[in-house]
Amino acid sequence: LRRASHPPPSGGAPPGGKGKPCGVGLTIMDKPPHLVTSIAPHGPADRTHAVQVGDCLVAIDDELVAHLAMDTLCQHVLGEEGTRVEMWLERIPPGVESRRHHERAEGINQQLSNLKRLLQDGVLDMQAYKVGVDQSWAGF
């Protein structure tokens, strides 16, 4: 997703990336599980057609959010207009209570920390790191 004001300005962020602070057009519950409660019409999240009310926000830019206070979570989502943010959402079928990524947050966090350390140490290149991140999510 790209952060954008609502409605987005023509031409996106100003040159040099000096956009105004804004979000992605989602309202979520302030306590875990962080379920999407509304989507701003024509906002970045709405334009992706990938987010639905009831989806569970799991991570932002590879950081799990289950343990984050709402003000910290907002700092991860709010940013300069036009910048990118990657959000991981879990689609929960109606009537199902499981939030498997929230329930297994500690294990996922450990795997992601290990991958980041291997990337920083030069053991993994960026492609191998991304594969490892994808496998961490898929394994849970």
pTM of the model: 0.63
Count the alpha carbons within 13 Å of 78 in the hemisphere toward its beta carbon.
10
Question: pLDDT tens digits for 56-98?
Answer: 888 888 788 888 888 888 888 888 888 888 888 888 777 666 5
Q: Tell me, what's the pLDDT at 18?
A: 59
Q: Tell me, what's the pLDDT at 40?
A: 93
Residue 2, judged by CB atoms within 10 A of its CB (0-12, 13-18, 19+), counts as middle
Q: Decide: 48 and 40 in contact? Cβ < 8 Å.
A: no
CA distance 15 to 71: 29
Q: Tell me, what's the pLDDT at 53?
A: 92
Q: In this structure, which amino acid lies at residue 20?
A: K
For residue 19, the tally of other CB atoms under 10 A from its CB is 19
Question: pLDDT tens digits for 3-54?
Answer: 443 333 334 444 445 567 788 899 998 887 888 999 999 988 899 898 999 8
Q: Tell me, what's the pLDDT at 122?
A: 93
Cα angle 2, 77, 50; round to 5:
55
Q: Tell me, what's the pLDDT at 96?
A: 66
